[in-house]
Amino acid sequence: MACHAVSDDRDELLFALLERLVASSRDGRMPDFAAVTHEHPDLETELRELWATAMIAEDFGSFTRSSGGPPEPEPGDDQHTSTRAAHAMPRRIGDFKLLEEIGRGGMGVVYRATQISLNRAVALKMILPGRLASATDLSRFQAEAEAAAKLKHPHVVSVYEVGELDGQPFFIMPLIEGTTLAKRLTDGPLPAREAAELLVPICRAVAAAHRHGILHRDLKPSNILIDREGQPYVTDFGLAKRLVGQVSNVPASKHVENVLHGEQLTQLTASGAVLGTPSYMAPEQAAGQRGEVGPASDVYSLGAILFAMLTGRPPFQAASPVDTILQVLEQDPIPPRVLNPDADPDLELIALKCLQKPSDLRYSTADALADDLQAFLAHEPISARSGHFSQILSRAFRETHHAVVLQNWGLLWMWHAAVIFAMSMLTNVLLLCDVKSRWVYPGLWVVLLGIWAACFWSLRRRAGPITFVERQIAHTWAGSMIASTGLYVVEWSLGLDVLSLSPVLGLISGMVFLVKAAILSGRFYIQAAAMFLIGVVMALMPLWRIPDLRIALFGVASGLSFFVPGWKYHRQRRESLMRHD
């Protein structure tokens, strides 16, 4: 009963804090997410997940309210909803005559229109009629108009004119007759050459935007228009940001600022908010304020679009937006050829390079991605297949995207180092005292390690939800403890002297660190190599007529292997908490 009461109190507190953040957002104020997490650091992970879900739900709710289906008919109304909507459509806005609606989303609606004075067909976009536009809606709408107006590129849907009528802002664009890439993909994957030919001009357009200091941040198939001649165009800059510190090629700084300025626009990127489309957003974008969004984020989205072209589906998709975001943050994409055996191997490599979690492992620019696609079209070697030895080596020793969970383990690993060291020293003292009982050593390790494992797991659970990756590491660690104590049983069954198989402890520990290197950080290869070497040294010590300090040597090496990374990640966690203060 007490456990249920604690759980209920925790849930009530979580939802109270979430309601406080949501209320601030709806009132037009920027929620102070950092202050809330500082007050309740133990709830930070769960609160971030709930906040991300809430933000997506807000946008999704507005989308479904505006385009998810007809409203309920009112009593006595025998007209179809579509007829009412048609009559509600404005017929004339200034110099523009509206003909029909051709598309809409959560915020805006696009009409086919005629510019009367020039007698030309155009597309007119405005905030949904009848919608009570918030300051954030207006800022995003204006941001889209300003970003598109700055870009003059043959594959960017530009802006002819920006205006306002009766407080309703609108802007005029060229009318692209055709379809969208999203609609094309409903028929399944595209042929390899067609996919590459479509994506090259899109990459060039995005690169041009970056050179003008603008990030798109919402690249996806539905924002790629394809005209009747098969030419693609980038549209919808509603989430665009301006890069700070642009240079002639690509902005040097990854830090970005909003296209507009002022308090209202700050709400577009409020602390903890997640903007974009989950299936196509980069990990650093899905992580909210914790990630640095830059040109590499758009490169990731271009890779996700290429993935969809090759397979007919995005690299990540789940039952809910928050589950999709967790996939983006924690999982690697399935190779396209697993989903579509006919996918081209070179294009698969190009897509997977774009979809790397660390941003510096992707293409450095959208132009570099376009160059590789053009190399593929010209039947030339692609850069995604090449790599200098130094680059391969540096990638092997870098952290993976799972390494962030180690901040939850830093202090615990330091304690674990102390426990292993103390137990090894005690074991070696008993060995030097000529204690040969087969029951003393296994009893010591089984009991003490069991108690410590229970304490370790309990302390970790207090720090917040346990991730799937942490469970993998915990099972690997538990397996190593079982194997270590199982050596005593093997010795007994083979009639060997007690602790004669102790050098195997080094090999078992080396395997544990090898698994950690594969899942968490390549730097654990160093600990793995050290522990393998310690196992060999322990086996040779009796031949060298050195006093039997094998277990003490193991304790020192194993303790240091846990303490050094533990100290590093514990310090990172403290610095992270200080930044949130």
| pLDDT tens per residue, range 118-135 | 889 998 888 765 444 556
Which DSSP string do the residues of 386-406 spell out, in sequence order? ---HHHHHHHHTSB-GGGGGG
Q: What is the CATH number of the domain that holds 371?
A: 1.10.510.10
**Phi and psi for 155 in degrees, rounded to 5?**
-120, 25
Q: What is the pLDDT of residues 456-489, one digit of tens each?
A: 777 777 766 677 788 888 888 888 888 888 888 8
Same domain, 168 and 197: no
Kindly report the number of other CB atoms within 10 A of residue 34's CB atom.
15
Q: Residue 271: what pLDDT? A: 36
Nearest Cα neighbor of 143 from 101, 171, 104 is 171
Same domain, 207 and 244: yes
How large is the average pLDDT for residues 349-365?
91
If 0-12 CB within 10 Å is exposed, 13-18 middle and 19+ buried, where does residue 477 land? Answer: middle
Q: Residue 410: what pLDDT? A: 85
* Angle, alpha carbons 364-366-368 (nearest 5°): 60
Which DSSP category does 407 fall into?
G
**Could you give the C-alpha distances from 103 to 89, 98, 243, 481, in angstroms and in order?**
13, 13, 29, 60
CA distance 240 to 387: 33
- Specify if 69 maps to a domain: no
Kindly report the number of other CB atoms within 10 A of residue 60's CB atom.
15
CA distance 544 to 553: 15
Structure tokens at 426: 């005690």
Read off the amino acid at residue 328. V
pLDDT at 342 over 90: yes
Same domain, 541 and 561: yes
pLDDT at 581 over 70: no
Q: Residue 579: what pLDDT? A: 62
Q: 359 falls in which pLDDT band (50, 70, 90)?
A: confident
Same domain, 215 and 350: yes
- Burial annotation 281-291 (CB, 10 A radius, 16+ → b, else e): bbbbbbbbbbb
pLDDT at 289 over 70: no
Domain boundary among 174, 196, 230: 174
Same domain, 330 and 462: no
pLDDT at 62 over 60: no
Q: What is the pLDDT of residues 65-79, one digit of tens each?
A: 333 333 333 333 333
Same domain, 199 and 344: yes
Catalytic (active site) residue 59: no
Same domain, 528 and 548: yes
Nearest Cα neighbor of 162 from 175, 147, 176, 172 is 172
Q: What is the CATH number of the domain that holds 110?
A: 3.30.200.20
**Phi and psi for 381 in degrees, rounded to 5?**
-65, 140
Is the Cα dihedral 395, 385, 366, 52 positive or negative?
A: negative
- Specify if 187 maps to a domain: yes
Domain boundary among 376, 396, 416: 396
In sequence order, what are the residues at sequence separation of 6 or more whose Cβ sits closer than 8 angstroms to the Cβ of residue 164?
A: 170
What do you get for the CA distance between the two ends of the chain, in Å?
36
- Specify if 447 maps to a domain: yes
Same domain, 452 and 501: yes
Chain mean pLDDT for the chain: 77
CA distance 483 to 45: 34
- Specify if 228 maps to a domain: yes
CA distance 148 to 242: 12
Q: Comparing 33-47, 126-140, 317-331, 476-490, which segment has the lowest mean pLDDT? A: 126-140
- Looking at per-residue confidence, does 524 or 289 come out higher? 524
Q: Residue 330: what pLDDT? A: 79
- Specify if 89 maps to a domain: no
How large is the average pLDDT for residues 329-356?
92
- Specify if 191 maps to a domain: yes
pLDDT at 46 over 80: no
Report helix, strand and coil shares of the chain as percent, to nearest 5. Answer: 60, 10, 30
Mark residue 166 as left, alpha or beta (left: phi above 0; alpha: psi -120 to 50; beta: remaining): left
Nearest Cα neighbor of 196 from 336, 342, 348, 332 is 348
CA distance 37 to 477: 31
CA distance 294 to 296: 5
Q: What is the pLDDT of residues 527-557, one digit of tens each?
A: 999 999 999 999 988 777 666 788 999 999 9
Q: What is the pLDDT of residues 297-308, one digit of tens each?
A: 999 999 999 999
pTM for the predicted model, two decimal places:
0.63
Same domain, 264 and 291: yes
Residue 44 lies in domain: 2-58
In sequence order, what are the residues at sequence separation of 6 or more whose Cβ sits closer than 8 angstroms to the Cβ of residue 359?
A: 254, 282, 284, 292, 294, 296, 297, 300
Partners of residue 109 on adjacent β-strands: 104, 126
Read off the amino acid at residue 427. T
Same domain, 498 and 350: no
pLDDT at 563 over 90: yes
Q: Residue 535: what pLDDT? A: 93
Q: Residue 226: what pLDDT? A: 94
- Specify if 507 maps to a domain: yes
pLDDT at 245 over 70: no
Q: Residue 580: what pLDDT? A: 55
Same domain, 192 and 165: no
Same domain, 141 and 182: no
Domain boundary among 396, 430, 449: 396
Long-range Cβ pairs for the range 14-17 (8 Å, 24+): 14/43, 14/46, 14/47, 14/50, 15/50, 17/43, 17/47
- Burial annotation 1-15 (CB, 10 A radius, 16+ → b, else e): eeeeeeeeeeeeebe
Q: What is the pLDDT of residues 487-504, one digit of tens each?
A: 888 988 898 888 889 999
Q: 204 falls in which pLDDT band (50, 70, 90)?
A: very high
Nearest Cα neighbor of 126 from 159, 150, 80, 151 is 159
Which DSSP category does 290 fall into?
G
The secondary structure element, H or E, covering residue 480 is helix 468-494
- Specify if 230 maps to a domain: yes
Catalytic: which of 8, 9, 166, 218? Answer: 218
pLDDT at 31 over 60: no
Contact 240, 404 (CB under 8 A): no
Indicate the number of domains in the chain.
Answer: 4
User: pLDDT above 90 covers what percent of the chain?
Assistant: 28
